[in-house]
A and B are shown apart, each in its own frame.
Chain A
Amino acid sequence: AQTVTQSQPEMSVQEAETVTLSCTYDTSESNYYLFWYKQPPSRQMILVIRQEAYKQQNATENRFSVNFQKAAKSFSLKISDSQLGDTAMYFCAFSRGWSGGSNYKLTFGKGTLLTVNP
């Protein structure tokens, strides 16, 4: 079974600054995906960024980037130039990399509540 751990229940950052959210995971799988999802007050889950485990290059999406350390099983999210709209709960998630049915299911961490202050 896979586990995902987020050790920071809450964080805050000033607008325009940079913040890093931590995530570690445990798995015996060799093929898998890691994700960061954002859940704003509306509670709609929004995909922020995705990383394939077989790719060494860290994923980036505009102001969002990850630091993927496969050997250490670490997957942190860096948000640059933080904006007020980034205020949300952020979940780190894992899924197996194989195709078909339950392989697509996501295992979530407990989340980190990020508040961006003006």
Chain B
Amino acid sequence: GAVVSQHPSWVICKSGTSVKIECRSLDFQATTMFWYRQFPKQSLMLMATSNEGSKATYEQGVEKDKFLINHASLTLSTLTVTSAHPEDSSFYICSARESGRATGANVLTFGAGSRLTVL
């Protein structure tokens, strides 16, 4: 089945530094990927839609300059948390839909998530 790899699974960084999280579709191409944020014991909140070869579409309230998204290829999207602060500590999850699948199969495959801790 479709597999999405997310790396790193856990990262600790100092306040003020930038952290990059990668999301790779291993056995399929993904024109569209999604980035979610999840606080402890809460639901997944969509941050942005990552579009291959074009700018990401951010949800209302999400800072574009804080959370940089790049989708340079059909198998890779990256989320960079710039100048991270403790309030950015969270669990970040990516998901992808296989390109070219027939309409009627709106199933997303999720990565295992990345836990970010900012000290």
Contacts and interface: CB of A to CB of B under 8 A. Distances in A.
Q: Is the interface of B mostly helix, strand, loop or mixed?
A: strand
B46 A105 contact: yes
Contacts, number: 56
A28 interface: no
B112 to A, nearest CB: 5
Give the interface size bracket for B toward A.
Answer: 20 to 34
Contacts of A76: none
Interface residues of A, number: 26
A111 B38 CA distance: 12
A101 B110 CA distance: 16
B93 A104 contact: no
A64 interface: no
Contacts of B24: none
B49 A107 contact: no
Top 4 nearest A-B pairs (CB, nearest first) are A45-B110, A99-B103, A108-B43, A110-B43
Interface of B: 31-32, 34, 38, 41-46, 49, 51, 57, 91, 93, 95, 97, 103-104, 106-108, 110, 112-113
Given A104-B97, A105-B34, A113-B41, 4 more contacts: A95-B106, A104-B108, A106-B44, A108-B43
